[in-house]
Amino acid sequence: MGEPGFALHAAASAGDVDEIESLLQAGADVNALDADKLSPLDHAAASGCAATVQLFLDLLPPPSVDRCWSAAGWAARRQHGEVFSTLLKVLESRGALQDHLLYSCPDEARKAVWWVAKRGNVTIAAALLDDCPVAMRLETDGSTMLIVAVMFSQTDMVNFLLDRGADPFTEDSRHENAVTAAARAGSVAMINLLWESTEGAGRLERWNARGSKHPPLCKAAQEGHLQAVQRLLELGLDMETSDADGHTPLYLAAGGGPRCSGVVMWLLSQGASWWEAVQCAVQREDGGVFRTLIDIPGVEWRNPYFVREVVQRGSAVIAAELLDRWPEAINLELYEVNESKRDASMLRLAARLNHVALVQLLVARGARLRVLCAPLTALHDAARMGHLEVVQALLPDPTTLNADRRQKHRALLEYRGWRGHTALHRAVTRETTDDRQLQIVQLLLERELDLLEEHDSTRWNRLTVFRKTEGGRTPLQCCAGEQMGPVLLRHMTSERVMALGGMDWQAVLDAVQDAQNQAPNDWQTDENAMQEEERADATLWEGGDAGEELHASLERLHF
């Protein structure tokens, strides 16, 4: 309580009535607060001297309602029943114990009720509830009297309140009830007491509280209370229950750190679903829980199916934890969609799903840009599907790369995958009005030139813009929509490309004329295995912007 620091406060603490009267006659301030924000009445109530308390209550003007509640709180805290009853009668006479207390309750009143519940003095509690029944429902520091009594394992008080009609499932403002409080405190005695008091139909369902904010079993597991978890399961609670966020007891225990390790191991020994818990950790990008779960001895998780699950969720945080423990997984051959064949890697699957942060992580960790088992690369897929940020992640600024990485990135751009398609072929076959697709095409063209060494003797047939598929078609001939063609033509006839090609005008002319002469039947023959949406319009070059660009390009080349 601290040193009073004032003469009147000291006299009140000592219960010295004569000294108090003397000081009051000398003009001492009865409402003065000491360093602990306590009044002389508070000190008198804490000392337990009923005569001293009555002296202060008889003064004119009398102490305020707040000061009386504050003093009642100190009387409850020190368990002075007579003083508490005296103060309660004064509050009743001043109308401070009516039902409106539920809606406009002073903070000091809440504190007083909280101390009554915490100290567990049934006599004081009976006096309070006899004069103020609404105190049973009053939230004290966010909790009801029953919840407070449960939290501090006050068995007599809990029994008293239950006899008075307190409901163990009444929730406070934090969506916690007495059952949850018992589980959170790890009190098996409180759990047993409350279980016995809630007999009747639907008891197990109410205790499971699936989908609620704080199911008891979830709370006990989260706090690491092994004995409480074991008792709740003995009572028949569902081990796979979950809270409002879908968290199971195992998941919550795994997130509790070392203090919950015993609960984690015990739940697993009882058949709790490790897979569901780890899926939950992946979905919520909870690296701490994920780390705990995969580090459990005896749990075998190193397989392609698990890696695919992590990639599909797209969490770079989780993927980093996985790769820290299994670096080889970065280039593992995975099933892409179904289990018919393994034709993907972590990088390719992440690229297809447009998980940009995960792609960046995998590239930084040294993932292979091309997997031997796959007919196409991550770049092919991202370029075809319009994932601009993924393409940018796969093809960073060449000035940031060493010579080895530059060579690998150039090889990636030139790689002819399924049916001889480069990433550029795949990009131009996507018909869209989205500028992002044009940006992808431009980025592919620019990156290839940026990756060329100054002394490179590349000829036309080495540049991807002139590379042909197995059916003999260049990217220009595969264009879908009228916007792609002009972009390619401008690139093909740019000074930089012409210089690399040694001003080989005939090569440009041949490519342009091939595009002009393509026939619908030829296209269908070459691309019959591609999806319908990937087929280009055979009459693309007959007019419109693309046709105008074609003629303008020919004029620049002096044809």
**Radius of gyration over every alpha carbon of the chain, rounded to an integer in angstroms:** 39
pLDDT score of 103: 67
d(CA 555, CA 489): 12
Residue 38 lies in a domain: yes
Q: Which of 115, 148, 181 is the last residue of a domain?
A: 115
Residue 554 lies in a domain: no
| Residue 334: DSSP 8-state | E
Residue 450 lies in a domain: yes
Residue 441 lies in a domain: yes
- State whether the Cα torsion 62-64-65-68 is positive or negative: negative
d(CA 163, CA 167): 10
Residue 352 lies in a domain: no
Residue 226 lies in a domain: no
Residue 420 lies in a domain: yes
The amino acid present at 16, given as its one-letter code, is: D
Residue 12 lies in a domain: yes
Number of domains in the chain: 2
Q: Which of 72, 92, 115 is the last residue of a domain?
A: 115
Whichever domain contains 477, its CATH number is 1.25.40.20
Long-range contacts at 118-121 (CB < 8 A, ≥ 24 apart)? 118/148, 118/149, 118/152, 118/154, 119/76, 119/77, 119/79, 119/154, 120/149, 120/152, 120/154, 120/155, 120/156, 120/157, 121/76, 121/79, 121/81, 121/157
Map residue 43 onto helix, strand or coil: helix
Closest CA to 242 of 213, 275, 284: 213
Instruction: Please list the pLDDT of the chain residue by residue as tens digits (559 residues).
Output: 444 448 999 999 999 999 999 999 999 999 999 999 999 999 999 999 999 999 999 998 999 999 999 999 999 999 999 999 999 999 999 988 887 676 678 889 999 999 999 999 999 999 999 999 989 988 877 789 999 999 999 999 999 999 999 999 999 888 999 999 999 999 999 999 999 999 888 999 999 999 999 999 999 999 999 999 999 999 999 999 999 999 999 999 998 888 998 999 999 999 999 988 888 888 888 888 999 899 888 888 898 888 998 999 999 999 999 999 999 999 988 865 444 455 688 999 999 999 999 999 999 999 998 876 678 899 999 999 999 999 999 999 988 888 888 889 988 998 888 888 999 999 998 877 678 899 999 999 999 888 876 545 555 557 888 888 888 888 888 887 677 888 888 887 777 776 665 556 666 666 666 655 653 333 333 444 444 334 333 333 444 454 555 555 555 544 4
Q: Which domain holds residue 33?
A: 1-102+109-115
Asked if residue 216 has a cis previous peptide bond (ω within 30° of 0), the answer is no
Closest CA to 127 of 170, 173, 92: 92
Do 69 and 88 meet the contact criterion of CB atoms below 8 Å apart? Answer: no
Long-range contacts at 271-279 (CB < 8 A, ≥ 24 apart)? 271/239, 272/239, 272/240, 272/248, 273/240, 273/248, 274/250, 274/299, 276/240, 276/248, 276/250, 276/251, 277/248, 277/250, 277/251, 279/309
d(CA 407, CA 398): 10
How do beta strands 334-335 and 342-344 pair?
antiparallel
The residues, any chain, with a CB within 8 Å of residue 484's CB and separated by 6 or more, are 428, 438, 441
3-state DSSP percent of the chain in helix, strand and coil, to 5: 60, 0, 35
Q: What are phi and psi of 152, to 5 degrees?
A: -105, 15
| Angle at the Cα of 433 from the Cα atoms of 432 and 437, rounded to 5 degrees | 65
pLDDT score of 393: 96
